[in-house]
Amino acid sequence: MKINLRTVWCIFFCCFIAFVIVVEVCHYLVRDKDVFRCRLHPSKDVIMEYIDAQVPQEKPSDVHAKQLYEVTADGTLPRISPDGEKVLDYYAAKSVEKNCLRVAVVLHGEQDLQKLMNFLGKKKITFIMPCNSEKLEEYARVLLENGHEFFLQLPTQQTVIASSAQHIAPFMANSNDTRQKLLQLLAMVRGAVGVANTNPTLLTKSSKDMREIASELSSRGLAFFDFLPKSTMLQKISQEEQLVYLTATNIFDQQVSREFKEGEAWLVSSDQVYDFFKRLPDKIVVGPITAGR
């Protein structure tokens, strides 16, 4: 009995095609997005469904939160919602008084945030989170659940740890990748009200770079915070780009002995936050950096 090779190959290819079809149908039926999305070009709705399943919503009860983010080639990024709502307004901590003493705490290293939340009680303030933290999403969740707001720390040579698992290259003045690095930073976690600079850097002296940063932050409904006094250049750029530009020129250390006044803005390191609040008179009302913006 002769074996027809052509017939054998035809049977083999038919079986192979049938196998592939069965596998694809099974993947589709079980909704295995991790596999299925690698095989077919997914729709935007499928991508949003996948991302929402991976990234917990800070305020799941509010449908507007989903409208404040968009899926892009650079990740899930903040945006101004179709009805005009901004991320800054949505996630900003609520302030009791506009003329309160505004406080921003810079987080360093591992933190027992729940202990700090209990210590602060009803006080709602600002936190600045380093992008190299391995607990970025966990910290964001705790802060938002307790009514606080947070900025993402601008990566500079002083703030970026080279061994970090979530390493972002430092922003450098007069570079060609400023916008790309900014988008990478903004895509790291949801809920940030903006970007904060807490260390001396030539970046904030470069009008080219700062205009690029200001334009991107403004178009996405975010703010820029700086520990330096307001500069004429940044004020001009922020006005032209319609950017919310905030500063806190008082930096707390344990040698500070002068009186605190409402209306001031203070930058405090997380390792001195307890001492800072213990020194504050009870009559002074504290609030977030964005108060009175």
Q: How confident is the model at residue 204, as a pLDDT?
A: 86
13 shares a domain with 157: no
Q: Could you tell me if residue 211 is inside a domain? A: yes
- pLDDT at position 28 is 58
Does residue 81 belong to any structural domain of this protein?
A: no
Asked whether residue 51 falls in the same domain as residue 92, the answer is no
In tens, the pLDDT along 56-81 reads 444 444 566 779 999 999 999 999 99
- Round to whole Å and give the CA distance between 200 and 185: 19
Ranges in the chain, pLDDT < 70 = 1-5, 8, 23, 25-64, 157-170, 172-174, 254-257
Short-list 289, 258, 252, CA closest to 272:
252
Number of domains comprising the chain: 2
pLDDT value, residue 230: 85
Q: Is 135 among the domain residues?
A: yes
The pLDDT value recorded for residue 203 is 85
Q: Are residues 45 and 143 in the same domain?
A: no
213 lies in the same domain as 154: yes
- Residue 39 lies in domain: 5-61
- Whether 68 is covered by a domain: the verdict is no
What CATH number should be reported for the domain holding residue 103?
3.20.20.370
Task: Give domain status of residue 194, yes or no.
Answer: yes
Map tokens 């970007």 to a residue: 195
Task: Please report the pLDDT score of residue 190 as a whole number.
Answer: 93
Do 20 and 118 lie in one domain? The reply is no
pLDDT value at residue 50:
44
Query: Contact, 217 vs 71, CB < 8 A?
Result: no
Residue 69 lies in a domain: no
Q: Is 48 found in the same domain as 100?
A: no
Are residue 200 and residue 246 in the same domain, yes or no? yes
| Same domain flag for 38 and 170 | no
Give pTM, 2 decimals: 0.74
| Final residue before a domain boundary, out of 44, 61, 78 | 61
Tell me, yes or no, whether 255 lies in a domain: yes
Pair (48, 178) in one structural domain: no
Mark whether 107 and 225 lie in a shared domain: yes
Q: Is residue 10 domain-shared with residue 91, that is, in the same domain?
A: no
Within a domain: residue 145? yes
146 shares a domain with 97: yes
